[in-house]
Amino acid sequence: MSRQLNAHRTDGVKKNVWVEFSKLAADYKAVNLGQGFPDFSPPRFIQEAFCKAVSGGPSMHQYTRAFGHPPLVKSLAKFFSRIVGHEIDPFEDILVTVGAYQALFSACQALVDEGDEVIIIEPFFDCYRPMVVMAGGKAVYVPLRPKKESGAVLSSGDWVLSAEELASKITPRTKAIIINTPNNPLGKVYKTEELQMIADLCIKHDLLCISDEVYEWLTYDEAKHVKIASLPGMWDRTITIGSAGKTFSATGWKVGWAIGSAHVMKHIQTIHQNTVYDCATAAQEAVAHGFDREYELFGTPESYFQQLPDILQHKRKKLALCLESVGLQPIMPEGGYFMIADISSVKMDINDESTKDEAYDFRFVKWLTKEKGLATIPVSAFYSPEHSKEFNKYIRFCFVKEDSTLDAAADILRKLSMK
């Protein structure tokens, strides 16, 4: 074929950190603190709900409503209306997707055109960039930066956005901003005033806001998750994305959603009906039951949305202590699944010809996986090509693992004698 075989939209988006590093972890049978999924089971009530759905009538195994299984969209509407402070229409304001990943993709496809600019805050979950690029848009980056006045940068709360810097990135072509709170990989939980700053700019410049809130229930210490869509003037211009996988520790179910005002959501629904059409029925039925249960138990100690962060708070501390004890400097996350650690003080002889042209953190992670059997993720993967060199001395650990996994990781780290 004389013309290019593949469509140009797939140029420049061929590399993928998850494909690369998940394979590496599997090939070397490493203790896996890399990709973000629990190695413990989902809560019993959600597993039971799934089994009940599977053994339900034939309709559980056939097509359901395209934009979301009616029991699920009703449960989501009821649950989130209370939190957002806005009456959410289950059929007009919600789209159920194949994980939050597909919600992000569909939002970009629906709303980003050739030449539109989309602001992405660094570090960012890596898929935002290729999704904007595939939609013909231009990604414009603004970094979180450690506050200068604090001595050691010890918490994700110490990384902040400059209002001036953010405002300077906005042009007449700016269509949207993507925010992620709690943030992956840093763990930052944006405070109300930080979100208000972003909201003010969105309103002033008439921007859309895509808010990735998959880790919304996982906040630690005194951090509180705030939904930017609940701020004045923001409901009409915000698409809030959530994940059953992260909510109920069942990442393999791939059930997510986008919630927003109908006049924006209808376009995302149009994308959906022309891409996958609908999502698997039984898992949606089970997630609906999960939300109904949590609606009743909300705010009580029996709520999974209370129990899970309590369990993870302890694991977060365990991992942080271990990293500190071996000379790695963790940045304590206020929320989410991950902790990043500064590896610049580590002096290891990485003798791997195959990685010699790669960024330092990529080399370190591959060496740690292959030679020491511990899988993590290099943090420069969460930065734009323009800025990744400035941030190539951090690696990301997932602490949402059984204590035995964390112990195994600790053993490996201690043997490295990095101190």
Taking CB under 8 A as the rule, does residue 278 contact another protein? yes
**Nearer to another protein (CB atom), residue 113 or residue 165:** 113
Tokens representing 256 are 């997510």
Spatial distance between the Cα atoms of 244 and 253, rounded to a whole number of angstroms: 8
Minimum CB–partner distance for residue 107 and another protein (Å): 10
x/- map, 181-220, another protein, by CB under 8 A: -------------------------xxx------------
Which SS3 state, helix, strand or coil, does residue 331 take? Answer: strand
Burial class of 154 by CB neighbour count within 10 A (0 to 12, 13 to 18, 19+): middle
Taking CB under 8 A as the rule, does residue 253 contact another protein? yes
Angle subtended at Cα 118 by Cα 112 and Cα 122, rounded to the nearest 5 degrees: 140
| Options 59-67, 185-193, 389-397, 405-413: segment touching another protein (CB under 8 A) | 59-67
Taking CB under 8 A as the rule, does residue 348 contact another protein? no
DSSP 367-393: HHHHHH-EE-EEGGGGS-TTTGGGG-S
Angle subtended at Cα 125 by Cα 102 and Cα 291, rounded to the nearest 5 degrees: 55
x/- map, 281-300, another protein, by CB under 8 A: xxx-----------------
| Options 74-82, 125-133, 157-165, 298-306: segment touching another protein (CB under 8 A) | 125-133
Minimum CB–partner distance for residue 227 and another protein (Å): 19
Write the CB contacts of 7 (distance below 8 Å, at least 6 apart in sequence): none
Amino acid identity for residue 26 in this structure: A
| Options 154-162, 247-255, 311-319, 334-342: segment touching another protein (CB under 8 A) | 247-255
Taking CB under 8 A as the rule, does residue 276 contact another protein? yes
Taking CB under 8 A as the rule, does residue 59 contact another protein? yes
Write the CB contacts of 15 (distance below 8 Å, at least 6 apart in sequence): none
**Nearer to another protein (CB atom), residue 108 or residue 226:** 108
| Residue choice 21, 25, 31, 64 for contact with another protein (CB under 8 A) | 64
| Residue choice 25, 134, 288, 308 for contact with another protein (CB under 8 A) | 134
Spatial distance between the Cα atoms of 242 and 290, rounded to a whole number of angstroms: 14
Closest CA to 313 of 330, 282, 293, 336: 336
Spatial distance between the Cα atoms of 283 and 99, rounded to a whole number of angstroms: 11
**Nearer to another protein (CB atom), residue 7 or residue 151:** 7
Minimum CB–partner distance for residue 54 and another protein (Å): 5
**Nearer to another protein (CB atom), residue 49 or residue 328:** 49
Taking CB under 8 A as the rule, does residue 8 contact another protein? yes
Minimum CB–partner distance for residue 317 and another protein (Å): 24
Tokens 């019993």 — which residue? 44
Closest CA to 137 of 106, 100, 174: 174
**Nearer to another protein (CB atom), residue 2 or residue 351:** 2
Residues 30-49 that bind another protein (CB under 8 A): 35, 37-42, 47
Taking CB under 8 A as the rule, does residue 404 contact another protein? no
